[in-house]
Structure 1
């Protein structure tokens, strides 16, 4: 059998991809500039294309592009359009385009004015304080801004999130605030959040 006659090594997976009817089952978030969810959306997209062996559609196409590649790319485009807000789709849709070109346009939209956005969001994150918020709301607010920073290619390290949390606590949580830096291994952001939640819950039960 000639090499050209051999089936594509991922033909079975790609055939399954053509049967996907609802992209929301694979990409459960809708990309929206108001939601600061570009990184989350991009991660779900990467999982989907890896699952169905379509990663070559997220890089510049290597000519010559054959009819089968074009067919799969035309199948993948609705995945992109179906997982983004309509105003973003209006900006990036174009006749005769490729999935890579659309993804590049989407990325450019979210990375535009990157330096200014990094500065603004970094200052906003640094200024967050607990005040009268619950621990859950306090940590969610930080995580939301950290996600927005990741969207503009300026991810916040887990250790930096812990220190930012410590800085924003008031004296009511001074025990946890003073303990965390003394631990042999600094707790992760999620673990430190749980430490604070435990104190908040314990004190609430005492009051009751």
Structure 2
């Protein structure tokens, strides 16, 4: 067991653990505060592959901010580093070399999980994680209404044309998901009606069958019906 005594992943010397559960020093009373989880050592953080924790890349052209943010926020929570984005650093932290190294690790993760178009906006010399995080948040939240206008226009005007049912419905669903991500969700009934509106004329006989169903079809059952018609 000697090789585990100073394992940095545990952050605890195994030799310092209580020798017996019955030892008086190991008893826990209701007044004993819960132990605070510590962040892993810097040597461990420097080996983290951000791609394995945040599998999406944040881009201006792809409205995936909410998805990316969920992954990155959860990732920081797993390493107990959420304080770096939740509050501005104190003067003491800014002058603490150990804290600064951790902050730079997070900045490196940020830069490796965002596209070049976003990096060009947020890249600032000597910036802290908190500052970069705020710039990213403001950039995507401030542009939400502008992006929603364009997404809504494309969603409402999309027609099937030469696309097959899989391509057509896939694009509609992607647009609906993008609208949801910018705070403008589209209801199931509206998605179905919009899908039927843009259908090729060769599917006109399928429209009454879908609209007559009670309760109304949701998006994926209506899509399945159209796939059967196509085949």
Could you state the TM-score of these two structures normalised by the residue count of structure 2?
A: 0.66
1:122 shift after superposition: 1.0
Partner residue of 1:108? 138
Question: 1 or 2 for the larger relative contact order (CA 8 Å, sep ≥6)?
Answer: 1
Q: Which runs of no fewer than 5 residues in structure 2 stay unpaired?
A: 1-24, 26-32
Partner residue of 1:18? 45
- Classify the secondary structure of the residue corresponding to 2:76: helix
Partner residue of 1:126? 156
Q: Tell me, yes or no, if the aligned pair for 1:36 and 1:144 is still in contact at 8 Å.
A: no
- Classify the secondary structure of the residue corresponding to 1:126: helix
Q: Tell me, yes or no, if the aligned pair for 2:58 and 2:114 is still in contact at 8 Å.
A: yes
Q: Give the alignment partner of residue 160 of structure 1, picking from 190, 207, 210.
A: 190
Q: Measured at CA, do residues 9 and 141 of structure 1 come closer, stay the same or move farther in structure 2, by a change above 3 Å?
A: same
Q: Which runs of no fewer than 5 residues in structure 1 stay unpaired?
A: 204-208
- Classify the secondary structure of the residue corresponding to 1:160: helix
Q: Give the alignment partner of residue 119 of structure 2, picking from 71, 75, 89.
A: 89
Aligned residues: 195
CA distance in 2, matches of 1:187, 1:49: 40
1:125 shift after superposition: 0.8
Could you state the TM-score of these two structures normalised by the residue count of structure 1?
A: 0.72
1:56 shift after superposition: 3.5
Q: Tell me, yes or no, if the aligned pair for 2:60 and 2:117 is still in contact at 8 Å.
A: no
Whichever structure has more helix as a proportion of its residues is 1
Given the alignment of the two structures, is residue 44 of structure 1 paired with residue 71 of structure 2, yes or no?
yes
Q: Measured at CA, do residues 18 and 190 of structure 1 come closer, stay the same or move farther in structure 2, by a change above 3 Å?
A: farther
CA distance in 1, matches of 2:82, 2:136: 17
CA distance in 1, matches of 2:210, 2:83: 45
Partner residue of 2:147? 117
Partner residue of 2:165? 135
CA distance in 1, matches of 2:91, 2:229: 62
Given the alignment of the two structures, is residue 99 of structure 1 paired with residue 129 of structure 2, yes or no?
yes
- Classify the secondary structure of the residue corresponding to 1:118: helix
